[in-house]
Chain A
Amino acid sequence: MKILLVCAGGLSSSIVMKKVRRYGEEIGEEVVIDAVGVAEVSDVWNKYDCILTAPQVRNRFNQIKETAGIPVAAMPPQDYAIGNAANIVKLAKSLIK
């Protein structure tokens, strides 16, 4: 499973990214996850299975959906805030199926 996290500049999403990576190791599943800023999405999306967007780039959500040819979903603010890796992985799985 390859997840791309998107926030404004790739800073706050990198905190969530680390937590999901650690979670992936704990449950023994291969989770590839990277974090980028909105501007980079168009260059990298094709290497991933799905995109999860941070709440603060809600205003760019439609634009991201248009550029990327893979499933896109927004992370719930609460899960994003504390980096709830279990919920985030669950959300990603529901997108890919």
Chain B
Amino acid sequence: MNKLVESKLMKWLEKVSVALSESPTFSTIASGMQGNLGFIMVGAVIQVGLAIANMVFGLPTTNEWYIRINSIYNTTMGLLSLMVTFNIAFNYAKRLGMKGHNVHGFTAIVCYILVCAPITTYTLADGSTVTAINTQFLGATGLFVAIIIGLLSVRISKFCIDHHWVITMPDSVPEGVLNSFNNIIPILVNILVWYGLSTALSVLTNGQLTIPTLIIFVLSIPLNALLSPIGMLVIIIFGQLLWFFGIHGTSVVFSVMMLPMIMAYQTNASLYEAGQPLLFSYVFLWGANAMWGGSGNTLPLVLMGLRSKSKTIKAVSKAALPAGIFNINEPAVFGYPIMYNPLFLIPYVFGPVIVYFFYWAAYAFELIALPRILILTTLPIFMSHFSSTLSITNVIFAVLMFPVVWLTWYPFFKMYEKKMVAEEEAAEAE
């Protein structure tokens, strides 16, 4: 086991994750998404409130007040892609050290609307006209497009600025005025590129394809590979391995998983709204690694340690318990320690895999409810099982998983305890 920990493969995995999380593009996407968590949370609160009103007080979804309150959800989660476009462009411009981050954010929004939701005038049946934008791609559906336009539009602007494609003014013009003139050409070039591409695509395919549908189609190929039984297993094992090296595996993996996750939840939210059955996505199985006490299901290990004969284990477990109840695993990972501890490699990395199969079976046999409410924050145990579905069966399932997780830890805990007790006795004898 020691050999495996020090093997080339492990070193390589560690290097990859560092490279991944240090790349400006990758961290821009992550921070651009995180900047919207507040809106996602507000959307979730509205959803929970409406679900309770619907289930407990029987308020029908067709009720005037239900629709009124639901429009808050539609203008938070429903505009997610617009916000992401801005945030990503803003953060990317900041990261690349460009002037006037706001301008680049708004340039990206303008391009996004031009490409995904052009302002169009429609004639209604009674002959009157209405000017509107189609909101189809403004919500979670457009997230990939939002990332691509957010990043590339900044790149285009940077290209223009680096090549001095700016309107030159006499020296007497004040700096502030100059800056607003400087942005004219980058904005124009962006509009030309995006609107040009979009128009060309539409003309060539007779309106069959648009930029968002094309991007979504192309990306669905790797995404479908990822959102498969094997894809999810790899994701879980990779995340756990990173944690085993003491790196926050969840945050690394999450930058990739966040998008399919948000999309699957929003699909289910709108299906629920329409009174239709919810859809299963393999992305839901990701929760298998954090059912009890954060990534790696460390809470049972902490509970075992509370009455340990080893003083070290006992002290660490006491310190780790409150955090564990809130699904925060760092004290256990670094204190026990689990990181770089060959004894714990198997239960820590493969314990979640066992839970994964139970979880999959429970969904497949429809024993537990499908999630639809996205709460992207760490919640205490039970709360985390309940909040996404508002179903008690999911909590019962998690409780049933406790002995399973316990058993995966127990033999390894005993081995480690024995070792620690022997070491402590030896230290005292000296």
Contacts and interface: CB of A to CB of B under 8 A. Distances in A.
A58 B247 contact: yes
Interface string A25-37: 0000000000001
Contacts of A38: 251
Interface in B11-37: 17-18, 21-22, 27, 30-31, 34
B328 interface: yes
Contact of B316 (A15, A59, A60, A82): A82
Contact of A81 (B18, B22, B30, B330): B330
A63 B331 CA distance: 24
A78 B323 contact: no
Contacts of B89: none
A82 B331 contact: yes
A57 B31 contact: no
Contacts of A78: 334-335, 337
Contacts of B332: 81
A82 B332 CA distance: 9
A57 B250 CA distance: 11
Contact of A59 (B22, B31, B94, B335): B22
B193 to A, nearest CB: 29
B21 to A, nearest CB: 5
Contacts, number: 82
Interface residues of A, number: 25
Contacts of A60: 21-22
Nearest to B33: A39
Contacts of A62: 22
A9 B251 contact: yes
A91 B1 CA distance: 34
A55 B334 CA distance: 8
By secondary structure, the B interface counts as helix
Given A11-B378, A81-B320, A81-B335, A59 B315 contact: no
Given A8-B251, A12-B328, A59 B21 contact: yes
B248 interface: yes
Nearest to A57: B248
B211 interface: no
A55 B339 CA distance: 10
A78 B246 CA distance: 12
Given A78-B337, A82-B316, A82-B319, A59 B252 contact: yes
B381 to A, nearest CB: 14
B418 to A, nearest CB: 21
Nearest to A76: B334
A88 interface: no
A85 B247 CA distance: 22
B335 A56 contact: no
Contacts of B21: 59-60
Given A58-B247, A59-B17, A59-B21, A7 B330 contact: yes
B78 to A, nearest CB: 24
B337 A39 contact: no
Contacts of B243: 56
B333 A59 contact: no
B32 to A, nearest CB: 10
A7 B251 CA distance: 11
Interface string A3-20: 000011101100100000
Contacts of A63: 22, 27
B248 A8 contact: yes
Contacts of B330: 7, 12, 54-56, 80-81
17 contacts: A8-B251, A11-B328, A15-B322, A15-B323, A39-B27, A39-B30, A39-B31, A56-B243, A56-B334, A57-B247, A62-B22, A77-B246, A77-B334, A78-B337, A81-B330, A81-B331, A81-B335
The 4 A-B pairs of least Cβ separation, nearest first, read A81-B335, A77-B334, A81-B334, A12-B330
